[in-house]
Amino acid sequence: MTLSFQAVVAGRGFDVALTVRPGETVAVMGPNGAGKSTLLSSIAGLLRPDSGRAELNGNTLFDLDGEKRTWAPPHHRGTALLAQEPLLFPHLSAVDNVSFGPRSAGVPKRDAKDHALRLLADVEAEHLAGQRPAQLSGGQAQRVAVARALAADPALLLLDEPLAALDIHSAPLLRRLFKRVLAGRQAIIVTHDVLDALMLADRVVILENGRIAEEGPTRAVLERPKSSFAAGLAGLNFIPGSLDGAGVLTSQGLRIAGHEEEAGQSATPACQGVAVFPPSAVSVFLDDAHGSPRNSFTVTITDLEPHGDQVRVRAGSLAADITPAASADLGLVPGMSVHFVVKAAAVSVYAT
Amino acid sequence: MDTQAYSGIPGWVRALAVLAVVVVVLPLLAMVLRVDWAQFIPLVTSESSLTALGLSLRTSAASTLLCILLGVPLALVLARDTFRLQGLLRSLVLLPLVLPPVVGGIALLYTFGRQGLLGQTLDMLGLQIAFSTMAVVLAQTFVALPFLVVSLEGALRTSGSRYEAVAATLGARPGTVFRRVTLPLVLPGLASGAVLSFARSLGEFGATLTFAGSLQGVTRTLPLEIYLQRETDPDAAVALSLVLVAVAVAVVALAYRRPAAVRSGSGKRTTAPAPAPGNVQ
């Protein structure tokens, strides 16, 4: 009872292999154009990959590799898709929208309606049963859309940024709803919000340029990111290079000293690795400051922006968080050349 | 309403717009002024008039049905499918819009006429289409089909195929999606397309005369009757013209009436989502 998926869409540089275990919810994250929607569309049958094969619970979704090519149409796949917009059928009432799936499967009208009303109650939208979609708020409509997707009793639920179009008031309510609904359910959720990944998913898959950059339990990925995208999600500075003892040597020849997360991994020479440290561990100096094991690099400030009660000093892909007072004392402005200093003890170094 | 809003229309543009209205309305007014009201009822209820009106309504209804039957699938294929020479096919289908109707009539004659392309085959089946009521319906369908296809294809493109995609992932087979999602969503477009087709059929003259002739009770529709009467009894022609104007006004009002409250309400959300490529790529 597993989804196994492997597909190539040459035109989009998409080449992904993914497995979702029974009852597992996988979050898919990545920059725009990384192939997240291509992944969902291929699984749902709305897009035909060039090659690959996929199986859901023993049923072949598509097999474009073998001699005998097979392609199951979307309505035979049991993969309900919930998009950013609710896309409720505007000519049907909320309850008729929810009973659409069961009715299509041949469930008698009365049974489908009873089932729909129970599902609407589950998503706290029972009172909206008779309403037309145009009369619903964004959050209400999305709740009804959740009930509609569940009513189809999908083997795999596909969620394409289901919270992205909601205002900040309805998103938390819906996130709680998803937490309840997705528990023990096989689902793939595409999201931009690290909170969704943490709360809703067992595992996160980071897509970059049509390929899986890294995957693993959400917590582990955020704590020890191996891709710059995941580091960005976790709000960490991320410097890739080759491992060099307890440090990382960048392609520019800069060595960042840190502490090794796992001893002995640098035994293989020229192994690729990263140095990762939080912006709060970075101090900003006007002059070069050396001393106890520290890293100091000369950078040019690109941006200053408020970050909580701190000021985030950005220099290219690196960031430092300092107090507004310190920023004022140093007279920081974009374009200025300063030194970012970080203690080696605050830098994690590990292989990728 | 916002009647105070700045429109930015120059005065001379307004003047020309008024002139445009005059060009359309003045002839109609002139005709109405010419109507012999005392004789109006007897004129439009004469036997030949009623026969022509009845024939016109029956044939137009039949051709509208035919347009719906053939035009809906065609519009769907043009709007949703992608295939080679699609643009060429669209241009060909729209050709009757710009073709002089009499040319259409000749084309039909050389297709279905006794000497025509299919004439022999039809003859063997015992079918003679030219100069029959069937010919009237065919001529009307020929000229009216593009109206339905154009307005329905526009509606289909506007609504996009995202609802259909969602319906399919919910387990609905293509037939169910068509019946329960696609058709209801484009019903307003289909209705206005059908009304326009009906109006075009009702006014059909050139192709009908060429392909079907002018036999009372068989192929002489109202426009043909008016043309005939114009020479012998101008008063009757004017009276009957007024009847056609009244029907036309009713049709236009039906096709372009303000959308009903329910439709305009749901319409906002229907068209609001980003264009289809955003998500269903």
Using the beta-carbon criterion (under 8 Å), do B172 and A100 form an inter-chain contact?
Answer: yes
Using the beta-carbon criterion (under 8 Å), do B162 and A83 form an inter-chain contact?
Answer: yes
Sheet with strand A337-343: strands edge to edge: A282-285, A337-343, A294-300
Q: Does B27 touch chain A (CB under 8 A)?
A: no
Q: Which of A75, A132, A151 sits opposite B172 (nearest CB)?
A: A75
Cα A289 to Cα A250, A260, A296, A314, distances in angstroms = 21, 24, 7, 19
* Integer Cα distance of A300 and A316 in angstroms: 8
Residue B104 lies in a domain: yes
CA distance B256 to chain A (A): 21
Residue B26 lies in a domain: no
Residue B184 lies in a domain: yes
Give me the torsion for CA of A145, A148, A152, A157, rounded to 10°: 20
CB B163 within 8 A of CB B181: yes
Residue B11 lies in a domain: no
Q: Chain A contacts of B274, Cβ < 8 Å?
A: 85
- Condensed to tens digits (0 to 9), the pLDDT of residues A22-57 reads 999 999 999 988 999 999 999 999 999 999 999 998
pLDDT at B3: 60
Tally C-beta pairs within 8 A across A and B.
98
Cα A191 to Cα A21, A32, A36, B71, B273, distances in angstroms = 19, 11, 9, 42, 19
Sign for the pseudo-dihedral over CA of A282, A286, A291, A294: positive
Q: Which of A74, A135, A158 sits opposite B168 (nearest CB)?
A: A74
Using the beta-carbon criterion (under 8 Å), do B165 and A149 form an inter-chain contact?
Answer: no
In chain B, the number of structural domains is: 1
Using the beta-carbon criterion (under 8 Å), do B269 and A90 form an inter-chain contact?
Answer: yes
Q: Does B276 touch chain A (CB under 8 A)?
A: no
Residue B21 lies in a domain: no
Using the beta-carbon criterion (under 8 Å), do B162 and A87 form an inter-chain contact?
Answer: yes
CATH number of the domain located at residue range(s) A236-351 in this protein: 2.40.50.100
Q: Return the percentage of chain B with pLDDT > 90, whole number.
A: 55
Which B-chain residues 131-190 have CB contacts (< 8 A) with chain A? 162-163, 165-174, 176-177, 180-181, 184-185, 187
Q: Which of A79, A133, A149 sits opposite B269 (nearest CB)?
A: A133
* Integer Cα distance of A283 and A296 in angstroms: 9
Using the beta-carbon criterion (under 8 Å), do A148 and B170 form an inter-chain contact?
Answer: yes
For residue B151, give every residue at least 6 positions away whose Cβ sits within 8 Å of its Cβ, in sequence order, or none. B189, B190, B192, B193, B196
Residue A243 pairs in a beta bridge with A248
Interface list for chain A against chain B, based on CB atoms closer than 8 Å: 37-38, 41, 44-47, 73-75, 77-81, 83-85, 87, 89-92, 100-101, 104-105, 132-135, 148-149, 151-152, 154, 158, 160
Using the beta-carbon criterion (under 8 Å), do A104 and B171 form an inter-chain contact?
Answer: yes
Q: Give residue for tokens 């499967």.
A: A105
pLDDT at A142: 92
* Integer Cα distance of A74 and A80 in angstroms: 9
CA distance B176 to chain A (A): 7
Residue B20 lies in a domain: no
pLDDT at B264: 38
- Condensed to tens digits (0 to 9), the pLDDT of residues B91-147 reads 998 899 899 999 999 999 999 988 889 888 888 888 888 889 999 999 999 999 999
Q: Chain B contacts of A101, Cβ < 8 Å?
A: 170-172
pLDDT at A1: 66
Using the beta-carbon criterion (under 8 Å), do B171 and A133 form an inter-chain contact?
Answer: no
Q: Does B16 touch chain A (CB under 8 A)?
A: no
Sheet with strand A14-20: strands edge to edge: A14-20, A3-9, A51-56, A59-63, A70-71
Using the beta-carbon criterion (under 8 Å), do B170 and A73 form an inter-chain contact?
Answer: no
CA distance A76 to chain B (A): 6
Pick the residue from chain A with its C-alpha nearest to B178.
A104
Using the beta-carbon criterion (under 8 Å), do A78 and B171 form an inter-chain contact?
Answer: yes
Tens of pLDDT along chain B (281 residues) come to 456 788 888 999 999 999 999 999 999 999 999 888 888 888 888 888 899 999 999 999 999 999 999 999 999 999 988 888 888 998 998 899 899 999 999 999 999 988 889 888 888 888 888 889 999 999 999 999 999 999 999 999 988 889 999 999 999 999 999 999 999 999 988 998 999 899 999 999 999 999 999 988 899 999 999 999 999 888 889 999 998 888 888 887 877 765 543 343 333 333 333 333 333 33
Using the beta-carbon criterion (under 8 Å), do B171 and A75 form an inter-chain contact?
Answer: yes
Per the structure, the complete domain to which residue B203 belongs is given by 39-276
pLDDT at B2: 52
Q: Which of B176, B181, B266 sits opposite A134 (nearest CB)?
A: B266
Using the beta-carbon criterion (under 8 Å), do A46 and B165 form an inter-chain contact?
Answer: yes
Pick the residue from chain A with its C-alpha nearest to B162.
A87
pLDDT at A269: 58
Interior CA angle at A43 toward A41 and A49, to 5°? Answer: 70
Using the beta-carbon criterion (under 8 Å), do B172 and A101 form an inter-chain contact?
Answer: yes
Using the beta-carbon criterion (under 8 Å), do A104 and B273 form an inter-chain contact?
Answer: no
* Integer Cα distance of A106 and A333 in angstroms: 67
* Integer Cα distance of A133 and A143 in angstroms: 11
CB A271 within 8 A of CB A351: yes
Q: Chain B contacts of A85, Cβ < 8 Å?
A: 272-274
For residue A136, give every residue at least 6 positions away whose Cβ sits within 8 Å of its Cβ, in sequence order, or none. A88, A94, A128, A144
Using the beta-carbon criterion (under 8 Å), do B273 and A148 form an inter-chain contact?
Answer: no
Q: Give residue for tokens 């990959």.
A: A49
Q: Does B7 touch chain A (CB under 8 A)?
A: no
Using the beta-carbon criterion (under 8 Å), do B163 and A87 form an inter-chain contact?
Answer: yes
CA distance A313 to chain B (A): 35
Domain ranges of chain A: 3-223, 236-351
Q: Compute and round to an integer the Cα radius of gyration of chain A.
A: 24
Pick the residue from chain B with its C-alpha nearest to A154.
B170
Q: Which CATH number fits domain A3-223: 3.40.50.10490, 3.40.50.300, 3.40.50.40, 3.20.20.140?
A: 3.40.50.300
Using the beta-carbon criterion (under 8 Å), do A100 and B169 form an inter-chain contact?
Answer: no
Residue B174 lies in a domain: yes
Whether the predicted pLDDT of A264 surpasses 70? no
Whether the predicted pLDDT of A296 surpasses 80? yes
Residue B18 lies in a domain: no
pLDDT at A103: 94
For residue B52, the domain's CATH number is: 1.10.3720.10
